[in-house]
Amino acid sequence: MSRTQYYCATTLDGFIAESDDTLGWLTGYEGSYDGPGAVPMKGTYDEFYDGVGALVSGSATYEFVLNELTEWPYAGKPYWVLSSRELPAPEGDGVDVRFARGGVRDLHREMLDAAGEQNLWVVGGGNVASQFADEGLLDELIATVVPVVLGEGKPLFDRRLPGGPMRLAGTRAFDTGMVEVRYEIGRSA
């Protein structure tokens, strides 16, 4: 069964980007950890991405990808952009970008169908993840915590989530000094 997963990196104080949407705190991070149980971080993104059948983000995340990368990184998988603005579409083989206006509840079934037996990845940002959580459609949070404190920025979620606390599903410490936490989130439908 397909799951709806919010997979992202976050600072220790809960921000996924600087206030200006930059990620220097992440891209410039250099750390290490050789303590007990440390696993190599290399390959963990690919492992996650192999289970993804479709993706969704807001316009800020989408524009960041367009501006920072020279080639569309999600070729072969449908990618929804939630936006009320007109945005350019990338070109290239296998690019399937779909612009959508409206509530995530109305779009969710179409996204899951497009994902097939694989998962739907909520790429970002915090507002989009919050919309899925508000509707009871978010199954899991997979956050890689980077030991950096910004003090301000774009939050992991932009409002309190409905329901009770999330349920811890697992953790792993990486050889980079980052820690992955997995939380199950209750779904209403």
pLDDT tens per residue across span 10-40: 999 999 999 999 999 999 999 999 999 999 9
Query: What is the rounded average pLDDT for all residues in the chain?
Result: 95
- CA 56, CA 39: separation in Å to the nearest integer? 29
- Per-residue pLDDT, averaged over 125-148, amounts to 97
Distance CA 42, CA 19 (A): 28
Averaged pLDDT for residues 163-179: 95
Tell me: pLDDT of 50 over 80.
yes
Structure tokens at 36: 């007990």
Model-level pTM? 0.95
Angle 126-134/104-115 helices, nearest 10 degrees? Answer: 100
Is the model's pLDDT at 189 over the cut of 50? Answer: no
Q: Which two tokens stand for residue 108?
A: 């969710």
Segment 166-171 shows an average pLDDT of 97
Q: Which CATH number fits domain 1-17+52-157+185-189: 3.40.50.300, 2.30.42.10, 2.70.98.20, 3.40.430.10?
A: 3.40.430.10
